[in-house]
Structure 1
Amino acid sequence: MALRKRHILLIVALLLAFIGMATAAISILNGNVISPSESLDIDSYKIAGIDVSAHNGNIDFAKARAAGTEFVFVKATEGATFRDSAMNSNLRKAHEAGLKTGVYHFFRFDVDGVKQAHNLLKAIAGRPLSLPLVIDVESHTNPYTPADIVTRKIHDMVDELTAYGYPVIIYSNKKGFDNHVRDEFADCGVWLCSFTQPNRGKNWTFWQYSHKGSIPGIDSDVDLDLWHGTASEWQQYTAKTEKAISVANMLYATINANRLR
């Protein structure tokens, strides 16, 4: 009888282990690499959004908005010269659909930070935006560059943007955050890329929790994001940002009138 009981307990243990491995596998297939015992608490965040680029193809933002998408960050630029081919149409259609809009710049480690700032500013060309300008900092596709040099170049870009009054957010994954963002850029917001639950007590603004999202209006996988705050705080945040960007746009246009022609 004792032997039979031990066999039963062994079978139960093996079944539990199998279920755990299956759960982990499903999580990986869904694009969220999380431990079997951990689930992402996304339902408690009330403001959801996406970030997109030309790689996402033709987007029906009205369908995305109807499905609950509140905001979108659109890729604008990269390095000193590159501009995303879908930036103009994505911003226009997202604005028409009633989404709060922002733009992001993919930071190149081997390019001067001030030049990157002006590439972004000339690309947005005074457009009304509801969200801060984002600097996307990640090592993927970037050449190896000593961390201190990269951080200095990011500072150069941030300083150039904030000199006109633009609010700035730094986007990064854990590696980029540890190498370039932690203990730096105190006046910038933080947009975390993390497939595990971020610390609610930390001072982050947005959380990108999946690269493999699926929403109406987009045929491809899409990045999914959440705002760290309440609905009322969101209204205050976007209203304040819209005013700041409007003033910064006017200042930039005035100072750089000849350069923009």
Structure 2
Amino acid sequence: MRVFWVLGVVAMLAGCGGGGGAPVSKEPVPVGQVTAPNFSDADPHPWAGRKPANYPVHGIDISRFQTSIDWQTARANGVNFAFIKATEGGDLADPMFRDHWNGAGRAGVQRGAYHFWYHCRPAAEQARWFIKHVPKGGLPPVLDMEWTPFSPTCTIRKPGAEIRAEAAEFMNIIAAHYGQRPILYTTPDFYVENEMWRLSGMEFWLRAVTAHPGERYEGQHWTFWQYTGTGLIPGIQGEVDINVFAGGEGAWADWLATRQQ
């Protein structure tokens, strides 16, 4: 997600929003072409300094809660990539994964799958569950690790060293299968409390909805930044998470060339 923004787009991101900007087109977009974001936000943050508008390549992450997506419209209005929830723990599969995966692919949206970590199951079991449900091809797999205080079955908080060891085990299994090392998604509190920066060779996708990742994760290199959970995009019913890629269009093309499966 990330400058060829127009002033109107910047204004929409800063405004109150109510369903995204007016759809620009439903014409097919050539594969690889970056489309500019035509978004708004139901609960916008007053960004100052380094802001999402500084990055031209935007995309989304979705799950079963996004039940209706016109992928062609979303693609034309700035959705260049999508990370789609596939699995959770060792026995839950997202019922919308296949529909979202196929829809994104048909529209030329760069697509990847993510696994939501369950702190009460072994790493190897969770990795096997993900592999069972996610085909090869697409963006690198993602491991989503965060605290789960509202889980009805697992609110345990293991020591940071144990969590990092489990993350490494999961990633090694996934990398061996897909030929690409996964990306780690996490939140500010989880990152700090478990010292996730100690994981070597890690590529990060970071959540930061009130400040730039450089302020929330000081000194940490990142590839993707989730900057809102209340985005409004033409073609997508309801609110959605929006993300940006760390570089410009050229860097995006270079990253895809080396990090796609």
Q: Which TM-score applies when normalising by structure 1? A: 0.75
Cα deviation digits, residues 71-118 of structure 1 (max 9, x gap): 000000000121110111101110110110111100011110011111
Distance (whole Å) between structure 1 residues aligned to residue 85 and residue 195 of structure 2: 21
Match of 1:185 in 2: 199
1:182 positional shift: 2.7
- Counterpart of 2:33 in structure 1 is none
Distance change >3 Å, CA 135–CA 150, structure 1 → 2: same
3-state SS in 2 of match to 1:69: coil
- Structure 1: segments with no counterpart, 5+ residues: 1-25, 246-261
* TM-superposed deviation, 1:218: 1.0
Tell me, in whole angstroms, the C-alpha distance in 1 between the residues paired with 2:126 and 2:202: 17
**Correspondence for 1:97 among 93, 107, 114:** 107
Distance change (3 Å), C-alpha of 1:219 and 1:101: same
Cα drift, residue 155 of structure 1: 1.9
Kindly indicate whether the alpha-carbon contact (under 8 Å) linking 1:57 and 1:220 is maintained by their aligned counterparts in 2.
Answer: no
Given that 1:72 and 1:101 are in contact with CA atoms closer than 8 Å, whether structure 2 keeps it comes out as yes
Change (3 A) 1:169 1:181: farther
Q: Which residue of 2 aligns with 1:162?
A: 175
Give the Cα separation in 1 of the matches to 2:256 and 2:213. 22
Give the fraction of aligned pairs with identical amino acids, expressed as a percent. Answer: 28
Residue of structure 2 equivalent to 1:113: 123
Match for 1:134: what amino acid?
Answer: V
2:241 to 201, 223, 245: 223
What residue identity is the alignment partner of 2:226? Answer: Q
Give deviations 1:178-222, integer Å, cap 9, x for gaps.
Answer: 123533322221000001112296310100000000001111110
Match of 1:144?
Answer: 156
Note the 1:1-261 alignment, pairs <5 A. 30-31=42-43, 38=48, 41-126=51-136, 128-129=137-138, 131-140=139-148, 141=151, 142-147=154-159, 148-164=161-177, 165-195=179-209, 196-199=211-214, 202-242=220-260, 245=261
Say if 1:205 and 1:227, in contact at 8 Å, map to a contact too: yes
Which position in structure 2 is the counterpart of 1:6?
A: none
Which of 1 and 2 has greater Rg? 1
Shift of 1:39: 6.0
Whole-angstrom distance in 1 between the partners of 2:220 and 2:117: 24
Separation in 2, partners of 1:184, 1:161: 20
Contact 2:206 2:222 in 1 (8 A): yes
Alignment size in residue pairs: 213
- Please state whether the residue corresponding to 1:58 is helix, strand or coil: coil
1:10: which partner in 2?
A: none
**Structure 2: distance between partners of 1:44 and 1:72:** 20
Preserved CA contact (<8 Å) 1:45 1:227: yes
Contact 1:110-1:145 at 8 Å conserved across structures: no
3-state DSSP class of the match of 1:237? helix
Long gaps (5+) in structure 2: 1-15, 18-40
Which has the larger share of helix? 1
Report if aligned partners of 2:147, 2:157 keep a CA contact under 8 Å in 1: no
Aligned equivalents of 2:232, 2:49: Cα separation in 1: 18
Return the letter of the residue paired with 2:227.
Y
- One-letter amino acid of the counterpart of residue 95, structure 1: G
Which stretch shows the higher mean deviation, 169-178 or 201-210?
Answer: 201-210
